[in-house]
Structure 1
Amino acid sequence: MLLHRERHLVERIGWLRAAILGANDGIVSTASLIVGVAAAAARPSDILLTGIAGLVAGAMSMAAGEYVSVSSQADTEAADLEREAGEIAADPEAEIAELAAIYVRRGLNDETATAVAHQLMAHDALAAHAHDELGLVSGMKARPVQAALTSAVTFSAGAGLPLLIALGAPPTWVAPAVATGALVSLAGLGAIGAAAGGAGRLRAAGRVAIWGALAMAVTSAVGAAVGASL
């Protein structure tokens, strides 16, 4: 029987989430830092130093955070699989009945469900339970190193944009130039992420831009207040 290969967008969710989060956080946090420091009437050299420090610290923080959180997910998945393997070894008939009950709930009759459960258990018992009982899908498997590297690289790329704008803008225009560039970039990033995931672009672009604008507005207000008090 000739089968055609299908690729579903959900297969991208592991690296796509980390990439969008990293780039978004890089733009928002670095642009907010620059706008906040600029609002405090800091010198151009101090603004750039703050932005560079934010890029380095943020990239490392994103990598560490993603690695730790996704590693916890991977550990939980491994523990569930180990537990399931023990249950299969201890009582395979009960595990066949458990699979059959799952297939009955999905619409198969008792006879067909039992036959399917027997065949899948004979082929790869643990894989059958991982997929149908635990809901562990190979395309969505936790990959800590991939998530950490993706987040660090995309954070750095996102953070580099407001830094470049700050470097090229006149000193009196640093804050508005960075804020404008960040908002445009965030909207574009939201649209790209939505397109890659097969979702609506306009809504995603607006959502990301609004939260970015809020972050920069709050940071600017704090920077202006602190600068005025010093």
Structure 2
Amino acid sequence: MATITETKLTIPSSEIHEAHAEEMNCSNRSQWLRAAILGANDGLVSITSLMIGIGAVKQDPKAMILSGFAGLVAGACSMAIGEFISVYSQLDIEVAQLKRDSKVEALADQESLPSPVQAAMASSMAFSIGASVPLLAAGFISSYEVRIGVVAAAASLALAVFGCVGALLGKAPVLRAGIRVLIGGWAAMAVTFGLMKLFRSGRL
């Protein structure tokens, strides 16, 4: 009887760790991009709603722009601090896990560790980019009605873009995601504008 000998292929551990590190880097890049889109969307919706809410009470363009700029600075700082604390906590957990692993795996995974400073800067910049859309849209318009309309239109266009890009990164249906983000932004703007109108009329 003929005997069949099985040949076992052994893959060097260094190649396994390199492939694992590359997979982790790709995953981290995807998460960074999605986080940036979410941060920009957050800045866009919150600052647009803030400016429209102020516009419902005061027609002075300076009041809208100053409130929007103050919201941009406060929101960017808040996002940076929150992201720094969150990622630092995650870093502590991953470092503790690496210490429990073997030295070889630790060396392979060091490059994939999150950076709290980079995360804070990215989150702050993403929020600022989104918040800049309504500020730039309102900055050069003196007419009250036109200013409100332009801010809402610019924010709607940016919301649709952010929603579609986020869906592409997450491999989700683009149209559905874009519409969902757009409706959510419209709801936030409408609620803020309506409540501030009620406040101005003295009903709240």
TM-score by length of 2: 0.77
1:164 corresponds to: 136
Among 52, 59, 62, the alignment partner of 1:45 is: 62
Does the aligned pair in 1 maintain the 2:134–2:151 contact within 8 Å? Answer: yes
Change (3 A) 1:45 1:80: same
1:190 corresponds to: 163
Gaps of 5+ in 2: 1-10
Change (3 A) 1:172 1:79: same
| CA shift for structure 1 position 175 | 2.1
2:197 corresponds to: 224
- Matching of residues 123-134 of structure 1 within 5 Å: 124=104, 126=106
| CA shift for structure 1 position 207 | 2.0
Change (3 A) 1:37 1:78: same
Counterparts of 2:105 and 2:66, CA distance in 1: 57
Among 153, 160, 184, the alignment partner of 1:211 is: 184
2:151 corresponds to: 178
| CA shift for structure 1 position 44 | 1.3
Does the aligned pair in 2 maintain the 1:183–1:209 contact within 8 Å? Answer: yes
One-letter code of the match for 1:207?
R
| CA shift for structure 1 position 138 | 6.1
RCO higher in 1 or 2 (8 Å CA, sep ≥ 6)?
A: 1
1:76 corresponds to: 93
One-letter code of the match for 2:140?
G
One-letter code of the match for 1:124?
V
Does the aligned pair in 1 maintain the 2:34–2:169 contact within 8 Å? Answer: no
Counterparts of 1:202 and 1:125, CA distance in 2: 42
Greater shift in the superposed pair: 196-205 or 65-74: 196-205
One-letter code of the match for 2:54?
V
One-letter code of the match for 1:16?
L
Gaps of 5+ in 1: 89-122, 131-136
Q: How many residues align?
A: 183
Change (3 A) 1:77 1:184: same
1:107 corresponds to: none
SS at match of 1:168: coil
Counterparts of 2:131 and 2:86, CA distance in 1: 22
1:147 and 2:147 are equivalent in the alignment: no
Counterparts of 1:164 and 1:174, CA distance in 2: 11
One-letter code of the match for 1:69?
S
Counterparts of 1:161 and 1:215, CA distance in 2: 16
Identity of aligned residues (%): 44
| CA shift for structure 1 position 156 | 1.0
| CA shift for structure 1 position 197 | 4.0
SS at match of 2:172: coil
Counterparts of 1:71 and 1:211, CA distance in 2: 31
TM-score by length of 1: 0.69
**Superposition RMSD on alpha carbons, in Å?**
2.9
TM-superposition CA deviations, 1:143-181 (whole Å, max 9, x none): 212211111111111111101111233222222221221
Counterparts of 1:199 and 1:180, CA distance in 2: 25
| CA shift for structure 1 position 41 | 2.9
